[in-house]
Amino acid sequence: MLGVIDLPTYLAGLVLIVLLPGPNSLYVLSVAARKGVRTGYKAAAGVWCGDTVLMTLSAAGVASLLQANELLFGIVKYAGAGYLSWLAIGMLRAAWAMWRARREPAVQSAQTEPVAGERPFRRAVVISLFNPKAILFFVAFFVQFVDPGYAYPALSFVVLGAFAQLASFLYLTALIFSGTRLAAAFRRRKRLSAGATTAAGALFLGFAVKLTLASA
């Protein structure tokens, strides 16, 4: 169909990959829990924009360039790992602030959260561009389902990308509305909020290590 090879296999793999926890989904869930549905969708829009950039680069052959050039791949890899580590440190610092303010009234503790000036869309774009799961998907998996003999390969990439974005939209929407339900519990239970933020920071550190160990 339109130069796409084995669409059922692609869709099955797509669902599994989308459902795997990653920094994109974790960040969207965190933003929705802290700031609500509207801001959660701003973060989700950043994810979709970043994924679109990765799809375009893959279709343009940049994925093959990264695989062939170890130096370039290393620069991208360590830059991404550094950014994810920076986010993780910020989350751990926020968790410590929440823990110290756990006995204070809810209004005061809410002011300790370092969300002022946060730009969810821009941050989500950067997280998406350096997301190990997304890089693996678009570099190693995405291109395998395009027929090299098809006359209009760009159309094939559009079809595959549309399915990927639809799956991402449905999944992130579910996370956004789940996050708003968690928000009330986090506001009531300061220790739970601090623990969840600590876990998120630890996961982001894990993503950074995973990206560092990735090979072209």
pLDDT digits (tens, 9 = 90+) for 60-98: 765 556 556 677 667 766 776 776 677 678 767 777 776
Residue 54 has pLDDT above 80, yes or no: yes
Q: Let me know: does 200 contact 63? Beta carbons within 8 Å.
A: no
Choice among 13-17, 155-159, 173-177 with the minimum mean pLDDT: 13-17
Prediction pTM value: 0.66
Residue 167 confidence class, pLDDT cut points 50, 70, 90: very high
Residue 169 confidence class, pLDDT cut points 50, 70, 90: very high
What is the pLDDT averaged over residues 118-137?
Answer: 82
Choice among 21-25, 41-45, 162-166 with the minimum mean pLDDT: 21-25
Choice among 6-15, 26-35, 84-93 with the minimum mean pLDDT: 84-93
Residue 173 confidence class, pLDDT cut points 50, 70, 90: very high
Residue 109 has pLDDT above 70, yes or no: no
Residue 107 has pLDDT above 50, yes or no: no
Choice among 7-11, 29-33, 104-108, 111-115 with the minimum mean pLDDT: 111-115
